[in-house]
Amino acid sequence: MDPTERAPSTSALRPGSADAPLWDPSAIPAATVIVLRDSPAGINVLMLKRNRDLAFAGGMWVFPGGRIDPEDFESAGIQPARTQTAQLTDQQLDDQPLNDQPLNDQQLRDRLLNEQDLERSAAVAAVREAREEANLFLQVADLRRWSHWTPPPETPKRFSTAFFIAPWSENSGEVTVDDGEIREHRWELPARVLELRAAGEVGLTPPTFITLSQLLRFGTVADVFAAAETRPFEHFAT
C-alpha cells in the first residue's frame, strides 16, 4: 500500500471480506452453542423456541445463545473497556438500531479487544446462555468453534456471533425452559428440523438453517467434533 494512502475504516469493511475483522466492532458481540447428543437414529440437536413477542427472532427455533455480557469477560479473567454500547440494557438493545449510531475511533478501539479475549468470553457466554435458557450445565473446555456470523452493515440490529458445538452428557442435566423468553424445546435430527421448516411448521433464521444443513453429513457427535478439530471455521456474512 502507498504510505500516503489511508487504510479503510474498520467500520466500512464488509463482514466476511479479507480485510474485515472477525469480530466486527460496530456489532454486538454474541455467542451461540449447538448442543449435540447421539441417538439410535443419528445426531440430535437441541432446539429452543423463542417467545413470539420478542423483538429479535420472535417465534423462531434457535440454538441457545445471546449477547456477551460484561460478566462473561470478568468470568474469563478479562477486564474489557465498557463502552456505551456494552452498557446498554436488553430493553435498550431491543429499542435501538445500533448501527444507526456510528462508533467513534476511540470506541472502535475499545470494542476491538484482542480476539483471544473475545473468544474466551464468547465461550463463557455460550455456557451461561445454555444454563439460563435450557438449564444445561456445559463445560467451556468441551466447546469447539464451529462458525462465525456477522450481518451486513444495513441490518437493523447486528450481532457478531461465535457459534460453538458442545456435547450433551448426563452430567449436563435435563433440559427445562422458563416459559418466558423460551417457550418450548425439542431434541431433533437436523434433517427433521429442516423438514418441519419446509412444511412451514417451524421458523429458522439463516444461521440456524445453514448450520443444520451442515450437520446433515455427520453420523455421530464424534464425527462433528473431529471435523471441528481439523477444519478452519467459516465466517459467514449474512
φ and ψ at 136, to 5 degrees?
Answer: -100, 145
- Beta partners for residue 234, in sequence order: 147
Task: List, in sequence order, every beta strand (DSSP E) within the chain.
Answer: 28-39, 42-50, 61-62, 65-67, 144-149, 159-167, 182-188, 234-236
Band (pLDDT 50/70/90 cuts) for residue 133 is very high
Contact 81, 108 (CB under 8 A): no
Q: What's the pLDDT at 12?
A: 47
> Which pLDDT belongs to residue 96?
41
Q: What is the pLDDT of residues 59-108, one digit of tens each?
A: 889 999 999 998 887 777 765 444 333 444 444 444 444 444 444 445 44
Rounded to the nearest integer, the mean pLDDT of the chain is 81
Please check the confidence at residue 56 and state whether its pLDDT lies above 80: no
**Of the options 1.10.287.610, 3.90.1410.10, 3.90.79.10, 3.40.50.1000, the CATH number for the domain spanning 19-236:** 3.90.79.10
pLDDT exceeds 90 at position 196: yes
Look up residue 93 and give its amino acid. L
Residues whose CB is less than 8 angstroms from the CB of residue 142 and which lie 6 or more positions away in sequence, other chains included: 166, 167
Q: What percent of the chain has pLDDT over 90?
A: 54
pLDDT-derived band at 16 (thresholds 50, 70, 90) equals: low
Select the more confidently predicted residue: 206 or 181: 206
DSSP tag of 100: G
The Cα–Cα gap between 60 and 180 comes to 14
Look at strands 159-167 and 61-62 and give their pairing: unpaired
Q: What is the pLDDT of residue 15?
A: 55
Most confident of 63-77, 125-139, 142-156: 125-139
Q: pLDDT class for 176, splitting at 50, 70, 90? A: very high
Per-residue pLDDT tens for 23-47? 888 889 999 999 999 999 999 999 9
Residue 190 has pLDDT above 90, yes or no: yes
Residue 22: predicted pLDDT: 85
- The residue among 88 and 168 whose pLDDT is bigger is 168
By CB atoms closer than 10 A (0-12, 13-18, 19+), residue 52 is exposed
Judge whether residue 139 has pLDDT over 60. Answer: yes
Integer Cα distance of 9 and 25 in angstroms:
11
Reported confidence tier of residue 1, pLDDT bands at 50, 70, 90: very low
